[in-house]
Amino acid sequence: MLIRNSHNPILSARADLSWCTKKVYNCAVYKDGDTYRMLFRSVGNDWISRLGLAESTDGVHFALRNTPVLSPQYDWEAGGCEDPRMVRIDGTYYVGYTGFNGTLAQAAMVTSNDLENWGERRLLFPNFSREQRENLPSEWSKAAAVFPEKIGDKYYLFFGDNHILAAVSLDLKEWAHIDQPVILPREGHFDSAYVEMGPPPIRTHRGWLVFYHGIDRFDNQRTYRLGAALFAIDDPLRQIWRCEESILEPEESYETIGMIDIIDGGFETLKSIRLEDIHQMAAENRLPRAIFCCGAILEGDEVRLYYSGGDTVICTAIVDLQTIFST
């Protein structure tokens, strides 16, 4: 389906930087001229998630800053700033991310002109309540990805990791979500258990291309795969196509073996687990498998995807539009 880069993984944890010693993953990427700017999630010695910044001139070899650019500041993100999605509108970066307080994940947004100095952080849906998967709190919301331009007289975003929902705004500050999902799980497919929003939608000649994560089951043998759907250019709530097969699934060792967030016990388990135990769990098919994509860039007729392998490292791959639309 696609071509993985021979340098994968292109970014890994750093033993010399205390804030990203455990994992670097789930990154957003924006191409500005000849410069690729990457915001990535990191986990360090204190097991708190922060956002780091890395830059590249070729989209593969990234140099990261020695200090994080976004760290928890409020109670609602005390457990971490997670999983950024990034667009640039009228010279301003709009970064959707997940604020996690240790129990509850909530979609948030922050703006910046340079990805180093930041404006006010705000929860996108402070009064959100909806039935969730796996007995999660009803206020749970995450994975917010903004469309990169105004459509008609409104801005749109997609979000969610149970069903994928839409929200609209007149000013990119106040958002109202729409109850009817735009992408639902499908019985008998790779996305039969639940779906989760991926990178910001990409405008193509056929419509808005939306990548999303499809999960097949609710147990330790679940697999995160990447799917795709198209929405009408002039009506981003109207789906006009959806893939039958996944675009990307975990296959390489750096994608199938890692410190998976959704392992039983989560971070508390990962704090004490040995690498040998992870390999053993993978060998016995007891370790969830995950690729997770928050960043995608259209370059000509090809899409460059940036994704995490095994919730542990950052990778990249390319796929042409015709291949996507033939799935």
Amino acid of residue 137:
P
Bridge partners, residue 208, by sequence: 203, 231
Examine residue 3 and state whether it is found in any structural domain, yes or no: no
Instruction: Check residue 201 and report its DSSP letter.
Output: P
Examine residue 198 and state whether it is found in any structural domain, yes or no: yes
Find, among 234, 233, 230, the residue nearest to 242 by Cα: 230
Examine residue 214 and state whether it is found in any structural domain, yes or no: yes
Question: For tokens 């990778």, what's the residue?
Answer: 315
Examine residue 298 and state whether it is found in any structural domain, yes or no: yes
CATH value at residue 69: 2.115.10.20
Tokens matching residue 70? 């976004």
C-alpha torsion angle, residues 124, 184, 4, 67 (rounded to 10): 20
The predicted model scores a pTM of 0.97
Structural domain range at position 33: 9-325
Examine residue 317 and state whether it is found in any structural domain, yes or no: yes
Asked whether 236 and 156 are in contact (CB, 8 A), the reply is: yes
Residue 104 host element (H or E)? none
Asked whether 290 and 282 are in contact (CB, 8 A), the reply is: no
Q: Per residue, what are the HEC states of 279-311? A: HHHHHCCCCCEEEEEEEEEEECCEEEEEEEECC
Examine residue 160 and state whether it is found in any structural domain, yes or no: yes
In a structure prediction context, what are the per-residue pLDDT tens digits for the chain, which is 327 residues long? 799 999 999 999 999 999 999 999 999 999 999 999 999 999 999 999 999 999 999 999 999 999 999 999 999 999 999 999 999 999 999 999 999 999 999 999 999 999 999 999 999 999 999 999 998 999 999 999 999 999 999 999 999 999 999 999 999 999 999 999 999 999 999 999 999 999 999 999 999 999 999 999 999 899 999 999 999 999 999 999 999 999 999 999 999 999 999 999 999 999 999 999 999 999 999 999 999 999 999 999 999 999 999 999 999 999 999 999 988
Find, among 114, 136, 216, 129, the residue nearest to 177 by Cα: 129
Examine residue 260 and state whether it is found in any structural domain, yes or no: yes
Examine residue 4 and state whether it is found in any structural domain, yes or no: no
Number of domain units in the chain: 1
Question: For tokens 């790779």, what's the residue?
Answer: 190
